[in-house]
Structure 1
Amino acid sequence: MVLIPHFEIPLDPDAPEARRWVVEELSKPEYASAQPTPFDLAMQAIRDWIASLFEGATGVPGPLLALLAVIVVAVLLVVALLVYGLPRLRRRRRAVAPLFDDHDLRDLRTLRRAAEAAAGSEDWALAIEERFRAIVRGVVDRDLVQVHPGTTAHGFADAAGRPLPAHAEALRAAAADFDAVRYLGRAGSRERYEAIVRLDLAVEAAVPEHAGTAGAPA
């Protein structure tokens, strides 16, 4: 007859052994997955806070408390958006640079529409002026040139010709047309207006050179 040795499992471990058992048990995956997330903790804190507001009140059902918790969270999110989100959006919004001495703040689309309307009325002087402003607005919005209220048409053309050398000559010619119709009282012509329209579209599609000069003041 073979005797099988019998080992008794110690039911009263010492402190180090008990600590090791606890660590091994808690390291199992099912315990880790059951840990509350930061969102769970935050929601629980909000629920506890709302419950404390109604502490001692009778007849308040649990679903009503849950609904109040959702409303409070929504209000807090809206307040956080207004306080922290909108200022960042305002900081990112580009300040519109005025063009020339009359502080023109119109955007590119508005200037092009104004030029087309003037051309439709065969007011070539106004059409040339507005379309040249559209060229300036497009270049400024791309951060290729910086302008200020004292910037002249020729100053802009010289500055824009550096990142856009292929169009430098045409930009100077367009600046001369702008000065002629705005300051010298010239009538302009369909041909010069159409040339500026082509220049506007070409400059819009052009890839700037000499990236280091981008944003240079005019």
Structure 2
Amino acid sequence: MSTGGLITTAATPPVTTPSDPAREAAERELSKPIYHQNDPSLLDRALREFFEWLDDLFDSASGAAPGGTFGLLAILALVVLAAVALWWRLGAPRRTATSAATLFDDGIRSAADHRTAAEAHAAAGRWTEAVQERMRAVVRSLEERTLLDPRPGRTADEAAAEASVSLPDHAEALRTAARTFDDVTYGGRTADADTYARLRALDTTLTRTKPLLTGPTG
């Protein structure tokens, strides 16, 4: 009887769980929040992948650059220096033409008032403001001499073009003065003492110049 019992026990198949339900049960268990409290956040994972990509890129570039890592750093330094030099030379990007606001942005003042304000700015070393006020003095003086019709909304470029009709010998200087005004007012440039001195000299010269009243073709 004992032998029969052993045979019966050995012949009984073991209890097994199908693989798919077991895997699904394990996945459900592991998906519980308690197992993921210390997982990195989505941002942490993204940053980690980005820095890994950047590290691989740097390694590849340093391997291809002459001199390895040192050579790559030297190239990057030259690129940065070139960009800074270009920015310093050209200044900030100019605004579009629609940004060229009117020459006069306040109440009506005489040319003498604008000259006084320009000299005060120059004495204080505020060359950008000095250039702006001196250009306004130039245009206001031309209006006072009836070489330009007083017109609200006129820009520096328009004033230079209109004044060139009666002052053809100074047309280029007037255009340069208008560009200078636009550069320091809307283009992010910074004026200096030499810029102001040239505009001041133009203002003085124009006040002593006899206009061509009939125009350049008269």
C-alpha distance in 1 between matches for 2:175 and 2:107: 21
Partner of 1:100: helix, strand, or coil? coil
Moved more, 100-109 or 177-186: 100-109
C-alpha distance in 1 between matches for 2:139 and 2:167: 13
C-alpha distance in 2 between matches for 1:100 and 1:131: 11
Q: Does the C-alpha gap of structure 1 residues 182 and 167 become closer, same or farther in structure 2, counting only changes over 3 Å?
A: same
Which residue of 113, 128, 131 corresponds with 1:128? 131
Q: Does the C-alpha gap of structure 1 residues 172 and 104 become closer, same or farther in structure 2, counting only changes over 3 Å?
A: farther
1:62-105 CA distance string (max 9 Å, x none): xxxxxxxxxxxxxxxxxxxxxxxxxxxxxxxxxxxxx7352441
Partner of 1:135: helix, strand, or coil? helix
Contact 1:157 1:168 in 2 (8 A): yes
* 1:52-71 alignment runs, 5 A limit: none
Contact 2:104 2:136 in 1 (8 A): no
Which residue of 162, 167, 170 corresponds with 1:159? 162
C-alpha distance in 1 between matches for 2:141 and 2:195: 19
- Tell me the residue number matched to 1:137: 140
- Tell me the residue number matched to 1:171: 174
1:144-200 CA distance string (max 9 Å, x none): 111422211000000001100111100100001111111122211111100000000
Aligned length: 115
Q: Does the C-alpha gap of structure 1 residues 165 and 173 become closer, same or farther in structure 2, counting only changes over 3 Å?
A: same
1:144 counterpart letter in structure 2: L
The TM-score normalised by the length of structure 2 is 0.50
The TM-score normalised by the length of structure 1 is 0.50
- Tell me the residue number matched to 1:47: none
C-alpha distance in 2 between matches for 1:151 and 1:141: 15
Moved more, 140-149 or 192-201: 140-149
Contact 1:158 1:172 in 2 (8 A): yes
Contact 2:103 2:136 in 1 (8 A): no
Q: Percent identity of the aligned residues?
A: 39
Partner of 1:122: helix, strand, or coil? coil
- Tell me the residue number matched to 2:118: 115
C-alpha distance in 2 between matches for 1:128 and 1:100: 12
C-alpha distance in 1 between matches for 2:103 and 2:182: 12
What RMSD over aligned residues (CA atoms) do the two structures have, in Å? 1.7
- Tell me the residue number matched to 1:12: none
Q: Does the C-alpha gap of structure 1 residues 147 and 194 become closer, same or farther in structure 2, counting only changes over 3 Å?
A: same
* 1:98-113 alignment runs, 5 A limit: 100=103, 102-113=105-116
Q: CA deviation at 1:138?
A: 0.6
C-alpha distance in 1 between matches for 2:141 and 2:188: 26
- Tell me the residue number matched to 1:212: 214
1:134 counterpart letter in structure 2: A
* Superposed structure 1 runs of 4+ greater than 2 Å apart: none
Which residue of 173, 180, 183 corresponds with 1:180? 183
C-alpha distance in 2 between matches for 1:198 and 1:100: 20
